Structures are given as C-alpha cells and as structure tokens.
Structure 1
Amino acid sequence: MSSAQGRIFGLKARRGALHGWTGAGEAVSQVTFLNRQALYLRPDPARVVVRPFKPATEPRDLNPTDKARANHIVDRVLSLSPEAAAEQLADVLENFQGRHRNLLATFEARADDMEEAFAAHAAFTKPQRRLVGAYFLHEYSFEAAALFNPSIVSHPDQSGVPDGERRFVLSLRAVGEGHVSSLTFRSGSIGLQGGVTVDPTARLASIPRVTSRIPGPQGDIVEVDFKADEEISERVIFPVTESQSNGIEDARFVEFEDEGRKTFFATYTAYSGKAIRSELIETTDFMSFRMTPLRGTAARNKGMALFPRKIAGKYAMIGRQDNENLYLIYSDDLYEWNGGVAILKPAFPWEFVQIGNCGSPIELDQGWLLLTHGVGPVRKYSIGAVLLDKNDPSKVLARSREPLVRPDPSEREGYVPNVVYTCGAMRHNDRIILPYAISDTFSHFATIEIAALMRAMEDGAGPA
C-alpha cells in the first residue's frame, strides 16, 4: 500500500492484564492501529515576512562602525529631492506591496525605531522618512528550509463545529536562512472517523508587535500580539529576545485546565547561538502571547513538557536532564522547576542512545499516555509510547517494546535523515491524532486507535 493510500504499521500484541486476550493460547497476533493520512505540510519559500535589517536595530544598540553606516544610509536617502524620494518609494511599493500587509505602516514603524538616526539630520519629508524605513528592512523566508516538529491542540473557537468533530491549531517549527527557527501555525479539522484536513495557508505572513517587555534576572518577559484580521496561518512568532536570537525551537503546546479556566501553554527551547534554555509561551486565543524564561535547575535543558492539569495540587512536567533519561518534575510555581526523579531509561535497541518526550502527556481512562522518541543505531529516531499511572505518574504501567512510528524507507531523506519526531499529539474520540515530522524537513499526520494501542503495549516492559 502506498503512502498516499495510508500506510499501516503495527506492534506485536501479547496478552496481559491491561490489554486483554489477543490470541488463542500463547499465540501472538499482529494488531494494526496506526493509519498514516495522505496529508503533507511542506516548507514554502514563497512565504516571507519583513524584519529589521542589521545594522538597522536601534542606533543605541550599534557599535560605532555600524552607527556610522546607519547614518550614511540615512544621509543618502535624505540627499534625494522630495520628488525623487517619492518616486523611489512608489517603486518600492509597486515591487513589494502585494507580498505584505500594510507596508507603508511597516515602513513608518521602522522609521520610528530609527528616530535617533533622524535626530542628527535636517528636516525630511514623509516619503523620505518612509523610504528610510524601507532601507532598514529585509524580507525573510521563514520556512524556506524546513517545516517540522509539530504539536496539536484543540482550537479555542469550536463554534459551528458538527458533533463528533473538532477544530484544531497546529504549531510548527519553521526554519529559514541561517537556520533560524520561528513558530508558525495552521488550523484544520478532525472528522468523526478521524480524517484530518488542514485549512488553506494564507498567502501573506506577519510577525507580531511587541506590546510589553519586562526585564528580569533570567531575561526579558515579552508580550506580543497579532491583529484580529490576520489569519492564524499568517502569524509567525520570530525571536524577539537575546536568548531566542537564533531560534524558538520545538514548542510543545498543551491545553491546560485549572479551576475551569483554559490556557494554552507551550514549553520551547530558546537558542541564542551559544546556549539553550527552556522558556514558556502562553495564550488563550493564539492572537496574544506571553513568553517567559523558566527558572531552576531543571529548566536548563531541552524537551520539557507540561501535564494538562495539576496533579495533587502541583504543576507537573516531563523532562530530560541528563541527555539520556526521562524525569518527572513537580513544582508549586509554573515558572520555576528544580529537581525531579528519573522514571524512564532506555530499555530497547531502538532507544539505546537516549529517550525523550514527544509532547505533553495525554489523559486517557487507563492513565497518562506519553509519546516518546528513541534514538538508535546510526542516530535513527523513532516514536514510541508509555502509559503512566494517572494519580502517580512516576509509576510506569506499560510501554511499547517496538516503535509506533519509524522512518519509512521511502521518506528517510531530508535535512536530517532517518528521523521521525513530534512535539505533541491530541485525543479525539477514540483516536490519537498524531502530527509528526519527517527528516526535519516536512510534516505528516497519522491516527492511532487507542484501544488497539493499549492492547499492543507491553506491561511495564524493560527497566524503568
């Protein structure tokens, strides 16, 4: 069966108290439960945003050489006659107007950022000012290289959705020139029988405006927002702090409920080009976002994932602190994480190098379903599953002896070969909806029958 028809994978299911009987006597049956959808999300280099062009940051942030260069550019623009400046601005608009929203307003906002540079010069016209703004911007193709490591949550607006169906928001890691990662989104729907559709992608793309920046000992706390008329697939959250300057990586979104209030949180890796750390983004509507650095010894590493509710009155995370094992971490403070206890270690050949989480745990009747990734020979990444006790997630009830998903021979090539990876799945009716990336290049979808998965998992197989 071809990929387009939906490739089916299975695990050998054994009888056990958790799974029930799967065959006569000691016989082993083959249970198929994972159905790959004929749906692919590939990077599109035609999608661009406009960003400040260095040395076009505020002049006070520039070294003397860059300040001089910035002033030279302003001098050259202001040397144009008003008529020539207006003609040049019209030419720029004709060339770029259809590629961005509100381009003149963007030029003016960039000129506002350059106010210190203007202060040293003579009077200027409005077209000259806008033209200066244009010279200090550049287009960036934010997903030119890759669109991968997705996570999925319910859409905050379910109005008009038929019974048994669900709208969703998909977050993805986009990578462009210089391997800079940003956060982008898609919306879509899940049908009654688990079919997944993704809404058409908007032609334009926009970065948000920064509405608040609060300095802190761990770094800036930043709030950003988008305009209501910007479709969700237009919205691109680009690095806005020094700690994020080389990337916002692998956001693991979860719909968190506390005392009837729902908030969408995501842990992500902030990469400065030299160091990493975990940060938290939060939103209720996917229009306004708050980004906060996490504190504590457990927040120095990648791959933290928040449980969707408190457990015994505490926040809970799954994380990896030693580049090898998975830890359970509790905290009274959503923004500070310390300590933790190892609950999962590599047990099977496909995960002997290391294991990590693949998103926030999913609450089932049977317990917490935790999707994991394992790294095996020749750095081959696969996706597995673990079932944790609902009241005490440090207890492992079951885990998959074989991967749920492994790199398909026909799709193993890409930016990073032999990798399948996800940053979060969600439950819909009796299925798990699993978006996942292939070779750190593009993204795909599969659905998993929960009952069959439960039967297929080994009871606590391997060492904890």
Structure 2
Amino acid sequence: MSSVTFLNRQALYLRPDTARVIVRPFKPTTEPRDLKPTDKTRANHIVDRVLGLDPEAAASQLADVLENFQGRHRNLLAIFEARADEMEEALIAHASFSRTQRQLLGAYFLNEYSFEASALFNPSIVSHPDQSGAPEGGRRFILSLRAVGEGHVSSLTFRSGSIAADGSVSVDPTARLAAMPKVVRRVGSPEGDHVEVAFKSEEDISERVIFPVTQAQSNGIEDARFVEFADDGRKTFYATYTAYSGTGIRSELIETSDFLSFKMVPLRGSAARNKGMALFPRKIGGRYAMIARQDNENLYLITSDDLYSWDGGELLLKPEFPWEFVQIGNCGSPIELDEGWLLLTHGVGPVRKYSIGAALLAKNDPSKVLARSREPLLRPEPSEREGYVPNVVYTCGAMRHGDQIVLPYAVSDTYSNFATIKIAALLKTMEN
C-alpha cells in the first residue's frame, strides 16, 4: 500500500525566526596567559570604566540601553540587576555601587542570543495539561522543539496548538518575546548537577526557552522525547534528552507537571551513555521501561525499578531493510494501541538518507515484535530534501488522537511540519 493511502502531510510549517532572542550572560574572552593573581581581569577593567562615569553620564547611558532594548525583553531592569547579583563575587573588590551603576553593569555582562536562528526541528508532542478551550472532539497539545543558534548550541523551546476532531492541526501564534527560566535549585551529585528551573506564569508557553544550565549541557540540550506518564492516577510529563558538553554526551531526564517548572536530572547506568532513550508511558509488569540504542546501530528494550538508573538491555530490533541498513533508532516513546505498542523508528540508508518507519510490540511483553514496516511511512519528499542536513525526516515523538497518529516531524534539520496517519491502514501495511 502506498504511504499516501494512510499518511497526510499538513503543510503547517514551523520555521526558525532570527528575531526571537533571549539575553544570556556574557563573559569576556580568556585572559592573557601571563596574568598574575594580583592583576585585574578584563571584567575588572569594565567595572572600573563604568564606575568612572559620573552619575549623570551613568544614568544617561542606562536610559539609552533601555531605549534600545526595552521592547525586546520583559523587565529589563530586573534582568540587569539579577546579572549584577550573579557577579557579586567579582564586584566585591570594587567600591560600593549606586543602583543605576549596578543595573548598567548588569547590561555590560549580558548579550542577546538568537536561539533558533539556525534551526527549529526534532519535535515531540503531548496533550496539554490544561484542556480548556479544546475544540469539540479535539484536543489541545504542547509541542517541544530543538532550537539551534549561533555556535550550534541547542536549547528546548515550545509551542501550543489544537487537533480538531477530523485530525487537522493548528498551532497557536508564537509570542514575540522569549525568556529563560530562573534556576531555583541546584544540587551537585557524583553523576552531575540536579537542577530545577521555573518560568513566570505570565510568560506564554512559546516564550519559554530552556537553555543549557550545567557543564554537561553547555553545548546543547538535544532531542527531547516527551511523554505523558501515568502512575497510580498521577500524570507527569517526562522527557529524555541528550546533554552535550562539547566533548561528551549523556542521557538526562526532564520532569514537569505544568510546563512552568522543570527538574533536570542526569541518568545513571551503562545504558544511559548514548543518545536516543525513550520512556514507555506507563510501567510494564511493575517496572519502568525504555527503548534505547547503546551500540549506535540497534534498538534495545531496558527495564528498571529506578527511573534514574538504566543498565543492560535486551536486543529488540536491528537493521533489516535497505532503508535502515546503516542504523536504526527510536522516534519517541511507544504509543499504546489496542493491538500493542506502536514504536516509531528512524532508519538511515544510502547517502545517509533518514526515513521514519514503525514496529508493533506486544502490549504485555514489549520484547516481542509482532509486526514491522518493510517500507518507510515517511521519507523526504523532493521539497524536503534541502536544509542544514539534507535528506532527513525525523521526529522525537508522536501522539494518538482517536483513530489517527499525529506526527510532528523535522525536515532536513531545519524546520518542522505535521502529518497524520490512519492507524488501521498503517497496521495493515506492517508485516508479521
């Protein structure tokens, strides 16, 4: 059966927008190698210059900065003061500061960053925790996306939207402003920092940007695979993601119940040292379960009594068809159907072309593969082949709505789109 029989592209494109910026700490470049402990650093020099301004000049300069940047961010003066607070240790060696001087100093140690200037891709989708305003017979959703800016640094951003009863998708307008959350708690551990961050309630979901906040994440928070997890009647949203330091990777877990406050925790164990882990939406046989790819080539099933520790694994799927001969991986958390667990997969074929396929796993024993797609469900169309990384379609998670699968997917690591898939027709194309 041709893919057009059961898959419908929505032509609802989410493209990167260079005008959306956050402010993040600016740190002067590395000091000279022969710097003595008693020498002043570049930061000290900047502070001295600001302190050298007379009060009227300092006030005038601060007013000029506000006039230039006020419409681009919320509460700029508070942001400037918070940055000065972060630098208290560096400022303590200097004379006392007026409030105007502190705010101006904060401005000098910040810079704007266009967090999605290069790409907006690898989406995942879950039901919105607040279903008020959902269309009749439809559902509200939250979409997570990987945003990439200067230096190829990845962060996590969001959109909201609705699925109508007929499966058509709409995305809410994107806010003009963007903001990073406040770090409200940080606890060190042998495996790395555990961090809690929180946004302000007045910040729209599309304003919220989770930018790297630990050394392990310093070069990127990549490919979050969100899932709505049910446990004893309590629903929590989890996402596994890849933390990239610039030299190494590891899997971490993010947790939220409202998409306002988030906990980020490193995962432990031998199975957490690679990319692409995806959590099942509920326990199976009393244990947590994950799909993972420890060896860069095959897919494994892992179970654990501890949500934060993952070892071992049982080989589940390996490359079998030409479109996936290079490697396979998961495309998000398994989706529960009456017939079993629907696992979307990606395969890499000739000339490193990425396509999306599927497998069906037994509901009570997902180590058993019931069926598998011989041909991809989704492969790059001619119009989807060009981008930052050509010949790629990819997703980090889909969602069931009625008799359909709503599939957000990325195009050539540049922008994102949606497709819907008829479940019954899809299952008919899969081979036992």
**1:35 equivalent in alignment to 2:35:** no
Letter in 2 for 1:367: G
- Alpha-carbon distance in structure 2 between the residues aligned to 1:277 and 1:180: 16
Aligned residue in 1 for 2:425 = 452
Query: Match of 1:383?
Result: 356
Secondary structure of the structure 1 residue equivalent to 2:27: coil
- Stretches of structure 2 lacking an aligned partner (at least 5 in a row): none
Are positions 1:159 and 2:132 aligned together? yes
Task: Measure how far apart 1:67 and its partner are.
Answer: 6.4
Amino acid at match of 2:91: F
Indicate whether 1:10 and 2:2 are aligned: yes
List per-residue Cα deviations over 1:103-162 (Å, max 9, x = no partner): 000000001111122211123221111000000000000000000000000000012324
- How far apart, in 2, do the equivalents of 1:419 and 1:278 lie? 23
Is the counterpart of residue 256 in structure 1 residue 206 in structure 2? no
2:76 matched to which residue of 1? Answer: 103
Give the superposed CA RMSD: 1.6
Secondary structure of the residue aligned to 2:347 is strand
- Alpha-carbon offset, residue 411 of structure 1: 1.7
> Which of 364, 367, 391 is matched with 1:418 structurally?
391
1:86 aligned residue: 59
Shift of 1:163: 3.4
Contact 2:277 2:290 (C-alpha < 8 Å) held by counterparts: yes
Tell me, yes or no, if structure 1 residue 70 matches structure 2 residue 46: no
What residue in structure 1 maps to residue 170 of structure 2? 197
8 Å Cα contact 1:55/1:66 also seen in 2 = no
Match in the other structure for 1:141:
114
Partner SS state of residue 121, structure 1: coil
1:153 and 1:169 in contact (8 A); partners too: yes
- For the structure 1 residues 65 and 434, does the alpha-carbon distance in structure 2 shift closer, same or farther, using more than 3 Å as the test? farther
Aligned length: 428
- Following superposition, the deviation at residue 427 of structure 1 comes to 0.2
Shift of 1:54: 1.1
Aligned partner of 1:360 in structure 2 is 333
SS of 2:8's equivalent? strand
Instruction: Report Cα offsets for 1:68-113 as digits up to 9, x if no partner.
Output: 1111100000000010000000000000000000000000000111
Tell me how far apart the structure 1 counterparts of residues 212 and 311 of structure 2 sit (CA, whole Å): 26
Structure 1 CA distance, aligned partners of 2:48 and 2:416? 47
Secondary structure of 1:244 counterpart: coil
Q: Please report how far the alpha carbon of residue 10 of structure 1 lies from its aligned counterpart in structure 2 after TM superposition.
A: 2.5
Instruction: Give the Cα–Cα distance (whole angstroms) in 2 for the partners of residues 428 and 262 of structure 1.
Output: 18
- Please tell me the residue identity of whatever aligns with 1:10: S
Contact 2:154 2:222 in 1 (8 A): yes
1:440 maps to a residue whose letter is: D
Give the counterpart of 1:207 among 180, 185, 188. Answer: 180
Q: Which amino acid aligns with 1:86?
A: A
Aligned-partner residue type, residue 196 of structure 1: V
1:17 maps to none
Q: Which amino acid aligns with 1:76?
A: R
| TM-score normalised per structure 2 | 0.97
Aligned to 2:300: 327
State how far apart, in whole Å, the 1-side matches of 2:197 and 2:39 are.
28
User: For each residue in 1:305-361, what CA deviation from the matched residue of structure 2 results, as whole angstroms up to 9, or x when unmatched?
Assistant: 000000000000000011110000000000000000111000000000000000000
C-alpha contact 2:7 2:377 (8 A) present in aligned 1: yes
Query: Which 5+ residue runs of structure 1 have no aligned equivalent?
Result: 1-8, 12-30, 460-464
Are residues 312 and 65 of structure 1, via their aligned partners in 2, closer, same or farther at CA, if it must alter by over 3 Å? farther
**CA contact 2:156–2:222 (8 Å) conserved in 1:** yes
